Structures are given as C-alpha cells and as structure tokens.
Amino acid sequence: MTTFKQTLQAKRERAAAVYERLNALYPEATCSLSYRSPLQLLVATILAAQCTDARVNIVTQTLFNRFKTPQDYVEAPREELEEAIRPCGFFRQKAKSIVKTCRRIIDVYGGEVPRTMEELVTLDGVGRKTANCVLGQCFGVPSVIVDTHCIRLSNRLGFTKSMDPVIIERDLMKIWPRETWTSFSHCLVFHGRAVCHARKPRCVECSVIAFCPFGSRNAKK
C-alpha cells in the first residue's frame, strides 16, 4: 500500500499534482449557478441551500427578469417573492433572508453588494461559503469555497482531517497555491459529482488515485 507523507510540503506537492490533473480534466469547471451580477449570484446561492443548482437556475430565469435591484426585492409583496422561489424549498425563510439581505445592501452599502468577507457575512443567510463564492466569481478574489464536495474530497485526499468548514478552508489555504483557490474548489465539485461520490466512489476510474490515501485503500477492497 502506498504511504502518503503528511508533512506540509508533501501535501503541497500532492495538491499541485491533483490540481494539474483535475484542471485538465475539467477545464470548464466553474460555478454552476447562472448569474450576470454579484446580486444575482448572492440571491442564487441563498436559494441553493438544500436545493440543486439545476432547479435554482430554472427558477432564476424568471426571477431575475422580475427582480433586478435590491430595491425590487424589498418593495415587492412578500407573497409574490415567496411564490416565485417556492420550487427551491424553504421558500418563506429564503424570501425573508433575501429581503433582509437586500435591505442591508441598500441601507449600509449604498445598494452595491459588498466586496469583503467581513462585510458579506453580515448579510442574512450568507456564510463563508456563499461569501467566498461571490468574492471568487464576481470580484476576482482568490477564495476557497468549502461545500459538501470540498469537505468530502479534501478529507479523502488527505488535505485535512476536519469536517469543520472553517478549519478546512484554513487548511486548504495553507496547501493550495493562492492563485488556484477558486478554480481548485470548482474542480473538486466537478470531480465529486462525476467520480468521487459520497456512497459509491469510482476510485478505480479516478485520475488522481495515485495521490489519494482514501482511493488507494478503497480500490483494493
């Protein structure tokens, strides 16, 4: 069985090899939510909680034609917004979060989506994952986006031993080159969906099995 060194340098070298292969395998890897502005991505990520990106994209096709500014969300009848986002689930709570977020954007940030982590996480329904997604996608700020795929794959690859998103983000920031943070995050999502499934990972088909402690063990079972 292959022995994987756990020194920081060894993890960095392994991460570089993994990124090279995944980036070549998924050159199209990016955020799968449809958006044309920071506000649209912010709203889409709130809707995506416990909902598939595909369903969110269907809903936002109509939603974004009706609601174009933070003021639109704040001034619209709550029932109208709730009905528009109903297919995404938890529509009352999500509508409440969207309205509170938009009201704060208007009152505190002059109607513009803020551009820092510290400011973004003050918005209702916005945690570090959503904030990092907006920063990385809309403002070009290198950001590690820790979602369920990132948690699973970063543990299997031996980049972290934690299930805490904040600790995982910190661990990966030490290992991944800064310029790869956003794209590496998306590569893990794509690989998690295609190969490294939660219940039945297809390790024998994996292009990075040579660098994966979990895969090297699992493939021999």
Say if residues 118 and 141 touch (Cβ distance below 8 Å): no
pLDDT at 220 over 80: no
Overall domain count for the chain: 2
131-165 as b/e, with b when 16 or more CB fall inside 10 Å?
bbbbbbbbeebbbbbbbebbbbbbbbbbbbeeeeb
Q: What would the mean pLDDT of 88-113 be, rounded to a whole number?
A: 98
Domain CATH for 46: 1.10.340.30
Of 122, 138, 154, the last residue of a domain is 138
Catalytic residue among 11, 94, 147, 171: 147
CA 16 to chain centre: 20
pLDDT at 96 over 60: yes
- C-alpha 104/C-alpha 119 separation (Å) is 10
Specify the DSSP element, H or E, that contains 25.
Answer: helix 8-25
pLDDT at 58 over 90: yes
Say if residues 25 and 205 touch (Cβ distance below 8 Å): no
Question: Does residue 53 carry a catalytic annotation?
Answer: no
Question: Does residue 129 carry a catalytic annotation?
Answer: yes
Domain CATH for 158: 1.10.1670.10
Range of the domain at 64: 38-138
What tens digit of pLDDT does each residue of 201-213 get?
999 999 999 999 9
Same domain? For 92 and 128 the reply is yes
Catalytic residue among 11, 94, 129, 171: 129
- C-alpha 158/C-alpha 161 separation (Å) is 7
- C-alpha 2/C-alpha 25 separation (Å) is 24
Retrieve residue 215's tokens: 């895969």
Predicted local confidence at residue 5, as pLDDT: 82
Q: What would the mean pLDDT of 40-69 be, rounded to a whole number?
A: 97
Of 105, 138, 171, the last residue of a domain is 138
* Residue type at position 132: N
